[in-house]
Amino acid sequence: MDKIIVKGGRQLQGEVNVSGAKNAALPILASALLADGKSTYRNVPDLADVKTMLKVLETMGCGTERLTGRKKDVCEVAVEGPITPEAPYDLVKTMRASVLVLGPLVARFGRARVSMPGGCAIGARPIDQHLKGLKALGADITLTEGYVEAKAKQLKGGTVNFDVITVTGTENVMMAAVLAKGRTVLENCAREPEVEELARVLNKMGARIEGAGTSIITIDGVDALKPVDHAILPDRIEAGTLMVAAAITGGNVLVKHAVPEHLESVILKLRETGCTITAEQGGLRVKAPKVVDSVDVKTTEHPGFPTDMQAQLMGLMTVASGTSVISESIFENRFMHVPELHRMGADITIQGHTAVVKGVKKLSGAPVMATDLRASASLVLAGLRAEGKTEVARIYHLDRGYERLEQKLRKLGADIRRVKA
């Protein structure tokens, strides 16, 4: 098992490219099931979760290929033979997003058998809203032996009002509705850029979707879709993480391909800390002071501050001037990085869903352990600032959502390397 070793104290300088968005790539790969033929996806990040989704599609009978050489960011998915509409437990348990095949399968093939994803390190994250939406479109849903079985001869348009805002739920039901007969209206939808991106891809395939990116999405069903060629949008969470890397080291970094409109809440918070952020050359430049100011933040659904940036911002606040209050309103168990930051000298007190962070003058390198994807990023960021050596273990979490992060940071001047544990 690999680990990352960081020796802190270097200011980051230079330019870095943002990879394609994992949380857009996963539903878009699943959407290939909606059309016969070969779809081509570009700017697909080389991540463990993407590999898992490709394996899920392969087990169903799809042909999948990631190209090599200069086209290594290109994936092809061919739906050309018989499809077995089942996603087995051994794959779904490693990645919750595997459940995104449920909507496309029942819409296109009339049935689906998908393992229940179960819990996750950062909270329960149930799929009840996915099932509520599919039922509203006429699917017959049964739960047997840990699997969801959905059947429908022909889905029919309907109105779905999500009880809570759910990104994957919005995406799953939207994919099902594109082949339903008649009009579907989805209310209280997730508004994330990744939802908009999926709708953009589905419309290129021949779907008729309006309102993606707002709380109400309207879908007029069509008889069939066609394959697509599409480049995935840049990953806003990776971009935000790299921006915080510049901030925590007092650096000056151009984050190329970062999309300002997708990062407004992150940009506002970093500006409050004293960073100067400007749009230039197809990206965002971050110039940071030696010591940032403390800020308060509460995570909320998009366009609010993303829960996927909470751990990284907390890492920055550990060395800020003053005290910050960080409130987590999305997931119930997302402060697992706090004990590891304590090992590095951070002063953090947890009170329910709130963390009070008192900035310290310095962090000290220490052996720490990643507990989830974004927590692992926060520990790497803290290591960039800490005095001495930080060893981050269990970085398979990091590899689920960041494409060669240590290489990108090293290019900016960080003393960081990956070693076999």
Residues making up the binding site: 22-23, 96, 125-129, 308, 330
Q: How far is Cα 300 from Cα 317, in angstroms, rounded to an integer?
A: 19
Could you check whether the bond before residue 303 is cis, i.e. omega within 30 degrees of 0? Answer: yes
Distance CA 394, CA 405 (A): 15
Residue 120 is among the residues annotated as catalytic for this protein: yes
Q: Cα angle at 292 between 286 and 298, to 5 degrees?
A: 90
Q: Catalytic residue, from 62, 120, 189, 275: name it.
A: 120
CA–CA gap between residue 91 and residue 56 (Å, rounded)? 7
Q: Please enumerate in sequence order all residues whose Cβ is within 8 A of that of 283, keeping only pairs 6 or more positions apart, or say none.
A: 15, 18, 254, 255, 256, 257, 258
* CB-CB contact of 172 with 101 (8 Å): no
Instruction: Name every residue whose Cβ is closer than 8 Å to that of residue 100 and which is 6 or more positions away in sequence.
Output: 26, 27, 30, 53, 168, 171, 172, 175
1-37 burial by CB neighbour count: b if 16+ within 10 A, else e?
Answer: eebbbbbbebbbeeebbbbbbbbbbbbbbbbbbbbee
Strand 323-327 with 347-351, pairing: unpaired
Helix (H) or strand (E) holding 244: helix 236-248
Q: Per the annotation, where are the binding residues for UDP-N-acetyl-alpha-D-glucosamine?
A: 96, 125-129, 308, 330
The tokens describing 41, both together, are 């996806």
**CA Rg value for the chain:** 21
Residues annotated as part of the active site: 120
